[in-house]
């Protein structure tokens, strides 16, 4: 009887060892063959906004580069935190990616008392994909047509001017708060679940102005539906060379830039991270992709995962200071 039990134990141990041995090369083989099925990019804002526009341009190019469909999944709300939490909890196999922003990965942890994910620990950075200026735009019916007129009107009518954003804590929101602080005005923030619905209300006259990411606003400027007052960057945009920067238009020292980057869940295997980074770097260098992004006012950008990780840490420290000094809060 003892011999029988011993034989069974040996058989079980041998089976487990065999299973472990078989599993290791299978995992390696799966990583080498990646991707073998569709990839999903979680976009934490509504369709039609800048994050969505950039994700679709890059997703289309990735489809051609990797040979698998790339699906954009919009999960808006809580300044990008709903989509971020979903992506952070996804299987770390490279088939779920996240289009992160300066809001989700550098601002929100200072703005929200409680975060549903850790922007540093829960993600594996792949690369930044674009740097984007914000564009200060107004409804054509408003009495201010430049920054100085806006400041004068806001000071004469404290609390009467409102500005929309893609959500509390977004770069669009903090661009407005920074303007409030430096121009010494009191404009009221109106958060939305994405840039697109905010722009829609701006065009409809429900809100007054917006510091929108250029890709989601520039088409409406070109169509005459919105009036461009200034860009938020230190230099003028090549796409709108006649539009001044906020600093040169009357608010010295003002500068705010949005950035967007692709990330994967934290435990994604290094070979898959490397393969995704390589694919992204290749598509971002393609002339047609660069042209599509430039037409939106976005500057394509790519780097190594470790460079993106260091950038995120630096941005987190920078925006933590801005949030503290502006008194902004999402709660």
Based on the fold, state whether residues 143 and 178 are members of the same structural domain: yes
With contact defined as beta carbons under 8 Å apart, do 119 and 84 qualify?
yes
Query: What is the spatial distance between Cα 81 and Cα 115, in angstroms, rounded to a whole number?
Result: 7
Based on the fold, state whether residues 122 and 138 are members of the same structural domain: no
174 falls within a domain: yes
With contact defined as beta carbons under 8 Å apart, do 130 and 292 qualify?
no
CA distances 42 to 90, 117, 190, Å, are 10, 15, 24
Based on the fold, state whether residues 161 and 218 are members of the same structural domain: yes
Q: HSE on the CB side for 181, CA within 13 Å? A: 16
Based on the fold, state whether residues 122 and 152 are members of the same structural domain: no
- Pick the last residue of a domain from 184, 215, 231: 231
Residue 10 pLDDT: 57
3-class secondary-structure state, position 182? helix
237 falls within a domain: no
Chain Cα centroid distance, residue 176: 18
20 falls within a domain: no
Based on the fold, state whether residues 263 and 119 are members of the same structural domain: yes
Query: What is the spatial distance between Cα 155 and Cα 214, in angstroms, rounded to a whole number?
Result: 26
Residue 239: φ, ψ to 5°: -75, -25
Q: HSE on the CB side for 84, CA within 13 Å? A: 26
> What CATH number is attached to the domain comprising 295?
3.40.190.150
Query: What is the spatial distance between Cα 67 and Cα 248, in angstroms, rounded to a whole number?
Result: 47
272 falls within a domain: yes
> What CATH number is attached to the domain comprising 209?
3.40.190.10
Residue 19 pLDDT: 46
Query: What is the spatial distance between Cα 262 and Cα 99, in angstroms, rounded to a whole number?
Result: 5
DSSP 103: I
5 falls within a domain: no
Residue 216 pLDDT: 86
Based on the fold, state whether residues 123 and 166 are members of the same structural domain: no
Boundaries of domain holding 223: 133-231
Nearest-10 crossing angle of helices 195-204, 214-222: 30
Nearest-10 crossing angle of helices 195-204, 50-66: 140
Based on the fold, state whether residues 319 and 273 are members of the same structural domain: yes
How many domains are contained in the chain?
2
243 falls within a domain: no
Based on the fold, state whether residues 111 and 188 are members of the same structural domain: no
Which residue stretches of the chain have pLDDT < 50?
1-2, 4, 12-26
> Which tens digits make up the pLDDT trace of 27-62?
677 677 899 999 999 999 989 888 999 999 999 999
Query: What is the spatial distance between Cα 194 and Cα 151, in angstroms, rounded to a whole number?
Result: 26
Query: What is the spatial distance between Cα 174 and Cα 319, in angstroms, rounded to a whole number?
Result: 9
Residue 295 pLDDT: 86
């Amino acid at each position: 009887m003892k011999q029988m039990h011993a034989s069974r134990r040996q058989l079980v141990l041998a089976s487990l060892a065999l299973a472990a041995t078989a599993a290791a090369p299978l995992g390696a083989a799966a990583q080498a063959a990646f991707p073998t099925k569709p990839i999903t990019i979680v976009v934490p804002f509504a369709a039609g906004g800048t994050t969505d526009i950039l994700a679709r341009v890059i997703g289309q190019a990735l489809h051609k580069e990797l040979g698998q469909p790339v699906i954009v999944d919009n999960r808006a709300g809580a300044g990008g935190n709903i989509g971020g939490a979903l992506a952070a909890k996804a299987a770390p196999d490279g088939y779920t990616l996240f289009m992160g922003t300066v809001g989700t990965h550098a601002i929100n942890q200072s703005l929200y008392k409680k975060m549903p994910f850790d922007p540093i620990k829960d993600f594996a950075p792949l690369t930044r994909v674009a740097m984007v200026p914000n564009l200060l735009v107004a409804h054509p019916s408003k009495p201010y047509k430049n920054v100085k007129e806006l400041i004068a009107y806001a000071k004469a009518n404290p609390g009467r001017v409102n500005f929309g954003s893609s959500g509390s804590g977004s770069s669009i929101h903090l661009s407005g708060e920074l303007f409030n602080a430096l121009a010494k005005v009191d404009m009221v923030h109106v958060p939305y679940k994405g840039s697109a619905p905010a722009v829609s209300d701006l065009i409809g006259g429900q809100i007054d102005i917006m510091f929108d990411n250029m890709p989601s606003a520039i088409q409406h400027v070109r169509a005459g539906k919105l009036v461009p007052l200034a860009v938020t960057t230190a230099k003028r945009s090549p796409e709108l060379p006649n539009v001044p920067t906020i600093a040169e238009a009357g608010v010295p020292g003002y500068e705010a830039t949005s950035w967007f980057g692709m990330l994967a869940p934290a435990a994604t295997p290094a070979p898959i991270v490397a393969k995704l980074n390589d694919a992204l770097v290749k598509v971002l260098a393609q002339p047609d992709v660069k042209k599509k992004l430039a037409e939106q006012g976005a500057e394509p950008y790519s780097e190594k995962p470790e460079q993106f990780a260091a950038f995120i840490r630096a941005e987190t420290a920078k925006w933590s200071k801005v949030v503290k000094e502006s008194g902004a809060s999402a709660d």
